[in-house]
Amino acid sequence: MQLLNSLCHIPAPAGNEVALTRFILNYVRQMSPGWQHQPTVIADERFQDCVLLVFGQPRTAVFAHLDSIGFTVRYGRQLVPIGGPRAEAGYRLVGHDSQGEIECTLTIDDETGELGYAFHRDIDRGTELTFYCDFRETATTVQSCYLDNRLGVWNALRLCETLEHGIIAFSCWEEHGGGSVAYLARFIYETYGVRQALISDITWVTEGVRPGLGCAISLRDSLIPRRSYVDRIRAIAAESGIPHQLEVEGSGGSDAKELQLAAAPWDWCFVGAPEDHVHSPDELVDKRDIESMRQLYQVLLQKL
Amino acid sequence: MQLLNSLCHIPAPAGNEVALTRFILNYVRQMSPGWQHQPTVIADERFQDCVLLVFGQPRTAVFAHLDSIGFTVRYGRQLVPIGGPRAEAGYRLVGHDSQGEIECTLTIDDETGELGYAFHRDIDRGTELTFYCDFRETATTVQSCYLDNRLGVWNALRLCETLEHGIIAFSCWEEHGGGSVAYLARFIYETYGVRQALISDITWVTEGVRPGLGCAISLRDSLIPRRSYVDRIRAIAAESGIPHQLEVEGSGGSDAKELQLAAAPWDWCFVGAPEDHVHSPDELVDKRDIESMRQLYQVLLQKL
Amino acid sequence: MQLLNSLCHIPAPAGNEVALTRFILNYVRQMSPGWQHQPTVIADERFQDCVLLVFGQPRTAVFAHLDSIGFTVRYGRQLVPIGGPRAEAGYRLVGHDSQGEIECTLTIDDETGELGYAFHRDIDRGTELTFYCDFRETATTVQSCYLDNRLGVWNALRLCETLEHGIIAFSCWEEHGGGSVAYLARFIYETYGVRQALISDITWVTEGVRPGLGCAISLRDSLIPRRSYVDRIRAIAAESGIPHQLEVEGSGGSDAKELQLAAAPWDWCFVGAPEDHVHSPDELVDKRDIESMRQLYQVLLQKL
């Protein structure tokens, strides 16, 4: 889990993912010689801070978003959320501005509910703050901020070790309205003819999706994927014998939103481990679900 | 109205429209030899479960969505809505799962308002349920679930009988956030240069749009179409002498949303009969408005 | 300010911008011979009522929306808003319908809050009404309806006087959900390879953005632009010595929304003067902020 630990420590709030992009590119450069198949790495200004890894003759693309939730410093000592972070007074936040490194705490106004920070000095307007990373591992669990979606990124990087045919797409802005998947999807569809997608992201523990019972295959969230594609994925998962769970929600979203609305006929399915304490510094995932997610992606990329 | 009756009985909740797609393709195969002009039928994996019928040298495309509202089975005996169905305890719902056919009733928790079902057994997670179809016809009205939008589909199929130049586009997911019109519109614009659209769909009876006074031409709903295009349609309708009404709303939407936001300069207008008891099992439309809609589309496709 | 005065008087509610389009085309025809460089004017049915002015070898596109907020006449004497106008009983509204010119007043139902109009006769269904224009200029301020966004349009037209390389894009529907920037952006990106944008629009006076302190550079609103691009703009602005302010908001939007979600990798930044009494007939802007905006755009188009 050293790789996951490293990924969770790198600040990459939506819109400013560049530090994580550099880490990914460096990691690929260092590790890919040991992978079974070598990908083409696509990362230039046409793709902003996104990265594409193209293996063999791809039929399916895996989307894993790099960005995280966080906060932007507004005026006075106000904060504005990036995405939908959970907010509790006392959360430790980190960042840096023109005056140096910052470690401050989140405050919440009792009356107005307005978010702010407590720090010994004012922080530059527009500075991004992210959760302080306290990475905790036990025999059965991993706990940290930003498992959503560093675990999805980790899963995609582990998949690279054995992947023969497929595309890994590391996207930006997922937590804050999207903004990169539309052009990634267009490039992938027009260049490779690929229109099958898996969303490598983290979902919620609920009354129907329990920790330890395996990776979740989502039948729907706020959007509804094409039934026939999801049914194919369910059949492959069932045949594989890998533990998994079926999720049905009426809310929530992912990079799939941009695929669904793209000007190309994308089939997509969200396949990811469930976590507890979503969007907090204490996101918690069961290691069995991580292992199930890793195995499921290997099989799905072969069979789809 | 036998065709409309058949259309209303086929389950096609958003995301799983395939049964209706097959019906349409079969109908076109059987009936098109009797039409005045033969269309090119386009229906393959590039268009998921959508169907395009291209007649002659098209200038205008008619969009009619295949999908309907409904419910997805969640956990326990909970239901999650597909689109925005009206919900009343006791509504009869149908579907099927791994254990066979289902006919159950809708329940609503008195305290939480949570939707559920009453049935003698648990239903598989992710199963789609749709309203039981009780099709009722009188001398002056038609009443059934899913007149929205089987009546729009019916109107498009009837239009085919005489259509010389034009495109019929049967779309998916309209009731649940969209997902097919973006790529249909792109294909149509890039292949045929067509950027005029009519939305063959059903609207609401309100204080300003009354049953029996003719098909509604919508001047706006939650979106506002380009005025100059709508004015051309109004002029053609006025000149035709066919009864019609002008609708002005601040809410509601249709397949036009994806046209409006498309990366192509689509002009669009919603033209459809009004119904009462919207999104319930008892949608009610006046036959005069159906006839007005049918006639209006014939004229508009000739004159636009 | 005669040009701005003229621009504010022309009705162009979202969806019916054509009068302003004609004014712009006429203005360009008359004035461009005096500009330092001649643009290519692109305005035809592929762009609906939008206008593109292309200068030299462009690297950056400036988007200025033509449309404004307003009201649509519904049934009875009801009004439906176009965009998000401020509504106060007694506001003077103007328009015209089949019976001639209209000058009426806005009414608000005490109990329901429903919008309506008071006039000596019924107004045709679907008629658009806009604020009566009372243009007021002092030594230090300009006040009128529709400074949002006639001031952004004015700024773009003034920029044309000296512009060597760049694109001016006059867009439609910004105030009501968008609908033209997607195709403008696609054409610009595919034809010229341009993917840098500035949004020439008007923002809000707040506790952090004060009148008279210079044009605002927005670090974010409801969407978050790519940090590295905004940082480049900040550096150019700082080096220029032109007064400006940094804005950080959690809500609000602009033409940038369609750029952010486009199937192309647009970098964008909102750069515009702040106004008080937003979306009312009394929008108020400090002349120093107008001058700062004008100067900043000149520098940015040279340096970006």
* C12 and C46 housed in the same domain: yes
Distance, in Å, from the CA atom of A248 to the CA atom of A270, rounded to the nearest integer, reads 11
What pLDDT does residue A134 have? 98
* A244 and A207 housed in the same domain: yes
The residues of chain B scoring below 70 in pLDDT are none
Which own/partner contact pairs does B117-121 have at CB distance under 8 Å and 24+ positions apart? Answer: B117/B71, B117/B73, B117/B77, B117/B79, B117/B93, B118/B77, B119/B77
* B158 and B274 housed in the same domain: yes
Task: Please answer whether residues B84 and B74 qualify as being in contact, where contact means their C-beta atoms are separated by less than 8 angstroms.
Answer: no
Distance, in Å, from the CA atom of B80 to the CA atom of B72, rounded to the nearest integer, reads 5
Contact (CB<8Å) B46/A267:
no
Task: Please answer whether residues B82 and B128 qualify as being in contact, where contact means their C-beta atoms are separated by less than 8 angstroms.
Answer: yes
DSSP C124: P
Q: What is the DSSP string of C143-173?
A: EETTHHHHHHHHHHHHHHTT-SSEEEEEES-
CATH label of the domain that carries residue B269: 3.40.630.10
Q: Which residues in A lie closer than 8 A to residue B186 (C-beta atoms)?
A: 263-264
**How big, in percent rounded to 5, are the helix, strand and coil portions of chain C?**
30, 30, 40
* A124 and A10 housed in the same domain: no
ipTM of predicted complex? 0.96
Which of B51, B114, B173 has the most A C-beta neighbours within 10 Å, making it the best mutation to test the interface with A?
B173
* C217 and C194 housed in the same domain: yes
Q: Which domain holds residue C291?
A: 2-68+136-303
* C183 and C231 housed in the same domain: yes
Q: How many CB pairs under 8 A join A and B?
A: 78
Q: Which positions in chain A have a beta carbon within 8 angstroms of at least one beta carbon in chain B?
A: 206-208, 219-220, 222-228, 246, 248-250, 260-265, 267
Looking at every residue in chain C, the average pLDDT score rounds to: 98
CATH label of the domain that carries residue B117: 2.40.30.40
Q: What is the DSSP string of B92-144?
A: EEEEEETTEEEEEEEEE-TTT--EEEE-SS---TT-EEEE----EE-SSEEEE
Of A114, A131, A148, the last residue of a domain is: A131
How many structural domains comprise chain A?
Answer: 2
Exposed e or buried b for every residue in C61-94, given b needs 16+ CB within 10 A?
A: bbbbbbbbbbbbbbbebbbbbbbebebeeebebb
Nearest CA in chain B to C50: B265
What are C237-249's pLDDT values in tens digits? 999 999 999 999 9
What pLDDT does residue A182 have? 98
* A117 and A145 housed in the same domain: no
Distance, in Å, from the CA atom of A267 to the CA atom of B5, rounded to the nearest integer, reads 31
Which of B66, B69, B75 has the most A C-beta neighbours within 10 Å, making it the best mutation to test the interface with A?
B75
* A63 and A77 housed in the same domain: no
What pLDDT does residue A220 have? 98
3 state SS of C265: coil
Say whether the peptide bond before residue C155 is cis (omega within 30 degrees of 0): no
* A75 and A186 housed in the same domain: no
Q: Which residues in B lie closer than 8 A to residue C14 (C-beta atoms)?
A: 224
What pLDDT does residue B104 have? 98
Say whether the peptide bond before residue C149 is cis (omega within 30 degrees of 0): yes
Q: What is the DSSP string of A75-133?
A: STTBEEEES-----TT-EEEEEETTEEEEEEEEE-TTT--EEEE-SSPPPTT-EEEE--
What pLDDT does residue A151 have? 98
Task: Please answer whether residues B234 and C15 qualify as being in contact, where contact means their C-beta atoms are separated by less than 8 angstroms.
Answer: no
Per-residue pLDDT of chain A (304 residues; tens, 9 = 90+): 899 999 999 999 999 999 999 999 999 999 999 999 999 999 999 999 999 999 999 999 999 999 999 999 999 999 999 999 999 999 999 999 999 999 999 999 999 999 999 999 999 999 999 999 999 999 999 999 999 999 999 999 999 999 999 999 999 999 999 999 999 999 999 999 999 999 999 999 999 999 999 999 999 999 999 999 999 999 999 999 999 999 999 999 999 999 999 999 999 999 999 999 999 999 999 999 999 999 999 999 999 9
Which of B11, B276, B280 is closest to B128 using CA atoms?
A: B11
Of A131, A154, A175, the last residue of a domain is: A131
Closest-CA distance of chain C to residue B260, Å: 5
* B53 and B74 housed in the same domain: no
The residues of chain C scoring below 70 in pLDDT are none
Of B131, B156, B183, the last residue of a domain is: B131
DSSP A68: B
* C84 and C179 housed in the same domain: no
Tokens of residue C135, six digits: 């243009």
* C79 and C58 housed in the same domain: no
Tokens of residue A39, six digits: 């990908």
Say whether the peptide bond before residue A5 is cis (omega within 30 degrees of 0): no
Distance, in Å, from the CA atom of A144 to the CA atom of B229, rounded to the nearest integer, reads 55
What pLDDT does residue B89 have? 97
Alpha-carbon C111 to chain mean position: 34
Neighbours of chain A (3+ CB pairs under 8 A): B, C
